[in-house]
A and B are shown apart, each in its own frame.
Chain A
Amino acid sequence: MTTKSKPKALQEFSEAAKAIVNPAVQDWMDRGGRVVGYFCSYVPEEIITAAGILPFRMRATGSTGTELSDAFFSSTNCSFVRHCMNMGLKGDFSFLDGLICINSCDHVRRIYDNWRRKINTPFLHMISFPRKTGERQVEWLRGELTLFKEALEKYLGFEITDERLWEAIRLHNETRRLQRQLYDLRKRENPPITGAETLATMVASTAMPKLRYNQLLRELLQEVSGLLGHCDHSARLMIVGGMLDDPGYLEVIESQGGLVVTDSLCFGSRVCWADVEEQVGDPMAALAQYHIIDRPACPRMYGEQPRRAAFIRNMIREFKVDGVIGERIVFCDYWSGEHFLLDKQLKAEGIPFLRLDREYQLSGIGQLRTRVQAFLESVEGGKQ
């Protein structure tokens, strides 16, 4: 490695990613700020920000068990959901003023059903999110987002004006632009930032006020853009999958000699690759258009697999990726199907693809190392 000690901004991002109530969240609450949790990157943070509330993407970082939630879920429900619910039942999310769910997948949508029956969170809302990507779906979602905004206004007792919404959209677009700049640095032959560090940076954006985050990210970009970068990696890797919020997982992969240079993750490129169109008509319509049409879709969106595969192929070209790793939490049906197709499609094009199943909490590190090591050997063999 040719990089020096960790930049200060990166340290703060890592801290934010490592904890639920991180210093930034604590500081926000100490100053009287409210926090609303949300599941899934399809929930528009901008509406929450416009309400003067800190949006916090739900994670189960640090959870050590599912002893309380096991009564509500089955062993065929994914470990992310069981850990999250467990933390909720333990009171670890009692700092939340509200929780927003969408029908993202079979597992997460049942959190809403159980949460509203068992956990007393002041504001709870479900957004019915379409599974298709047409104009009618944009219109449906615009209606859903309007209902969500109205419910939030009723809870808060004040109006969330269009001006505030546009302001929030501009702020979040700035976050996305800065994040894309970070990804751009990873296109270099010797990227100045690792995959694990990037993931920590992306996770932090969902767990701290955006103004502060953008300021830190600017500092980070300035600091790392001048670095020589990592040059001792054996292969440039791309990670493709769902709910991955643990930089430690990528650290294990990168410890075997590969460098993660890009991804298609919902704590990664999928949330920053496009902007919400600014100042065009209705802000709700702009947000709906962004989530249904413009942003890269996840496998929950029907009919989008060819576009998702094309997104990955573009990434592979742009970031000079040598091999792709598909990660998925066990029992996730969406990603089992997506990886099934990607495996065929990428291998047919001569692109190495490794499928990794995992639990939400980092475990089986030895086995993970072995599989990544074997994969890297095959990637290197292919290059020769």
Chain B
Amino acid sequence: MSTRAIQRIKDETGLLRLALDRLEQSDSSIARLNKTVVKALIESNERILRCTETKAPFIASYYAYGPEIYTAMDLPWYSVAAPITTPIAVMGQQALECRSLDIPTELCTAIRLSLYYIENDMCLPPSASIAMITPCDGMQIMNQILAAKDDWRDVPMFAPDPPYVEGERALDYYAQQFREMVAFIEEHTGRRLDIDRLRKVIEESNRQYMLWSEYNELRRAVPCPHGYRMGNQVWTMVQMLGPGDPRCTAWLQELIAETEQRVREKRGAVEKERIRLFWYDIRPLWIHEFASWLEREWGAVIVMDMFTYNPYTLVDTSTEESMFRGLAKRGLYDVPMVRQERGPADHFADDITRIVKDYRIDCVVFPAHMGHKAMAGTVGICREICRDLGIPFLYLGIDLFDSTYTIPGEVRDRFSKFFAAMALG
């Protein structure tokens, strides 16, 4: 068992506890909501640590593979390449340190960060691993490198194979991949999937998706009731920490009550909202400082981003087959990043058109993260869609993780010039 990996989890848990202590000192409604998220993050780490102590099974996996299945199997899991429990400041520092790896720096920094954890024995070998080989080439090579690592060589690994095209045939194939994944997990963890239990979990997660949809509808309000942070918390809760967990449902209900209150009072994320942004990518690690500047200087609010948006497709729980197909469909067409980058570029066009209209967006920001190469190949398509919609489009070309790739001051300057040129704000 990797000592460094366990220590990493303990260290991160310690930092999360500090964050929780800080939140305890506030009784604001936002702090209350954030506290629940931080508690869920701590609990997620503690469950993994307990497994290492008791030798109980746990797995490495991803949000795109029907995490409701893991809830139903009562199987703790964590993500190698989506380390949500790692505090942003720590990750920011590690993003600089991972340059020392003997791998080209033009490889996505998120992937290099994962390789940094792998090469430094900071990824805890699980009972079994579900490898994600979508939505980008980097994910696949990361898993190959992980499989070759000494302390992971004996970890059984399974990768659901995502079809590139869409349609019934693709769903049949991918649902079958999910079934094989379940059989693989059962074999290597000794846990069994009870279909009735899965149905209950999915029914609960369906409620969560309906609430997510409701929350995002509230974000259509002008002014937008919350800034960049809360939308991502919803994703973290629904697809990472609490899929099918009634506590997550209760949190969403509390969030909606809080948001409704804000909308009724016309209370926005900023005092005077002047620009509504659609940030079409994941949030950068340096978002806090940057978004604060956007809000303060320009009254600009990130109303929607890649991870906050979701098509909220519910899973039909009538039969075992419909549940597997529904989870496969969600994993293939809906979950953020996979939705956009896995297949043909059609979702980019559809999402921009829908979000711009639904959320009264003033401009679309295309960060063009250095690692998102499939996305980078859609820049012309996205620009044209925006041109047709008559919406200003800002292409950046940044690293969402390494803040030194493009100096934050330079990014701010680009925004200022763009807003001024487009007469926004």
Contact partner of A107 among B106, B140, B373, CB < 8 A? Answer: B373
Cβ 8 A contact of A302, one of B144, B373, B376? B144
Stretch binding the partner chain, chosen from B92-100, B131-139, B352-360: B131-139
Name the interface residues of B241-266: CB closer than 8 Å to any CB of A: none
Q: B157: which A residues are within 8 A, CB to CB? A: 303
Residues of B within 8 A of A341 (CB): 144-145, 148
Query: Cβ of A71 < 8 Å from any Cβ of B?
Result: yes
Q: Which residue of the partner chain B has the closest CB to A333?
A: B137
Within 8 A of A (CB), among B134-157: 134, 136-138, 140-145, 147-148, 157
Are A337 and B136 in contact, with the CB atoms below 8 A? no
Q: When the two chains form the complex, which single residue of A77, A103, A137, A357 contacts B376, counting CB atoms closer than 8 Å? A: A77
Whether a CB of chain A sits under 8 angstroms from the CB of B102 is yes
B170, A331: Cβ atoms under 8 Å?
no
Whether B176 sits at the interface, judged by CB under 8 Å, is yes
Known: A74-B379, A109-B374, A140-B163. A333 touches B397 (CB 8 A): no
Q: Number of A-B pairs whose CB atoms are under 8 Å?
A: 151
Q: A131 contacts which chain B residues (CB < 8 A)?
A: 133-134, 140, 159, 161-162
Given A73-B380, A106-B137, A113-B344, are A128 and B163 neighbors across the interface (CB < 8 Å)?
Answer: yes
Q: Does chain B have a CB within 8 A of A117?
A: yes
- Distance between B139 CB and nearest chain A CB, rounded to angstroms: 9
CA–CA, A196 to B390, complex, Å? 52
**Per-position 1/0 for A65-92, Cβ under 8 A of B:** 0000001111111100100000000000
Evaluate whether A76 and B106 lie within 8 angstroms (CB atoms) in the complex, with A106-B137, A128-B163, A129-B164 already known.
Answer: yes
In the docked arrangement, what's the CA distance between A73 and B395, Å? 11
Task: Determine if A98 is an interface residue (Cβ-Cβ < 8 Å).
Answer: no
**A22 part of interface (Cβ distance < 8 Å):** no
- Interface residues in B166-181 by Cβ distance below 8 A to A read 169-170, 173, 176-177, 180
Is A334 positioned at the interface, with any CB of B under 8 Å from its CB?
A: yes
Task: Assess whether B300 is interfacial by the CB under 8 Å rule.
Answer: no
Whether the pair A130, B106 counts as a contact (CB closer than 8 A) is no
Question: Is B143 a contact partner of A336 (Cβ separation < 8 A)?
Answer: no
B344 close to A126 (CB less than 8 A): yes
Closest to B343 in A: A103
Nearest CB of chain A from residue B145's CB, rounded to whole Å: 6
Asked whether any CB of chain A lies closer than 8 Å to the CB of B407, the reply is no
Task: Check A73 against B377 for contact (C-beta < 8 Å).
Answer: yes
Residues in B whose Cβ lies below 8 Å from that of A81 = 377
- Which residues in window 66-111 of B have CB below 8 A to A? 102-104, 106-108, 111
Q: Which of A74, A128, A303, A336 has the most CB of B within 10 A?
A: A74
Check A75–B379 contact: CB distance below 8 A: no
Contact B140 A77, beta carbon cutoff 8 Å: no
B144 touches A105 (CB 8 A): no
In contact, A333 and B170 (Cβ under 8 angstroms)? no
In the assembled complex, A383 has its CB within 8 A of some CB on chain B: no
How far is the CB of B378 from the nearest CB of chain A, in Å? 6
Q: Is B381 located at the chain interface by the 8 A CB criterion?
A: yes
- Whether A126 pairs with B137 at a CB distance below 8 angstroms is no
For A114, the chain B residues whose CB sits under 8 A away are 377, 380-381
B376 touches A337 (CB 8 A): no
Bound-complex Cα distance A117 to B136 (A)? 22
* Given contact pairs A75-B397, A76-B106, A128 touches B376 in the complex (Cβ within 8 A): no
* CB atoms of A106 and B136 under 8 A apart: yes
Does B345 belong to the interface (CB within 8 Å)?
A: yes
Residues 257-292 of A at the B interface (beta carbon under 8 Å): none
Q: Is the CB of B163 within 8 A of A334?
A: no
Say yes or no: B145 contacts A77, CB within 8 Å: no
On chain B, the residues within 8 Å of A102 by CB distance are 164
Measured CA separation A288–B272 after assembly (Å): 60
Contact (Cβ within 8 A) A103 B164: yes
* Closest B residue by C-beta to A105: B137
Contact status A110-B145, CB under 8 Å: no
Does A343 touch B at the CB level, under 8 Å? yes
Contact A128 B165 (CB under 8 A): yes
Taking the complex as formed, is A299 at the interface, i.e. its CB lies under 8 A from any CB of chain B? yes
CA A369 – CA B161 in complex, angstroms? 41
State the CA gap A303–B111 with chains docked (Å). 18
- B259 → chain A, closest Cβ, in Å? 36
Query: Do B106 and A337 touch across chains, with their CB atoms under 8 A apart?
Result: no
User: Any chain B CB within 8 A of the CB of A300?
Assistant: yes
Known: A75-B397, A110-B345, A299-B141. A333 touches B377 (CB 8 A): no
For residue A109, which residue of chain B has the nearest CB? B374
- A132 contacts the other chain (CB 8 A): yes
A305 at the interface (CB under 8 A from B): yes
By a CB distance below 8 angstroms, the chain A residues around B143 are 302
Q: Is A113 in contact with B164, judged by CB distance below 8 angstroms?
A: no
Contacts A/B (CB < 8 Å), 15 sampled: A72-B377, A72-B379, A73-B376, A74-B377, A110-B374, A113-B345, A114-B377, A126-B165, A302-B140, A302-B161, A305-B148, A333-B108, A336-B106, A337-B142, A343-B102
Closest 3 A/B residue pairs (Cβ): A337-B141, A110-B377, A72-B380
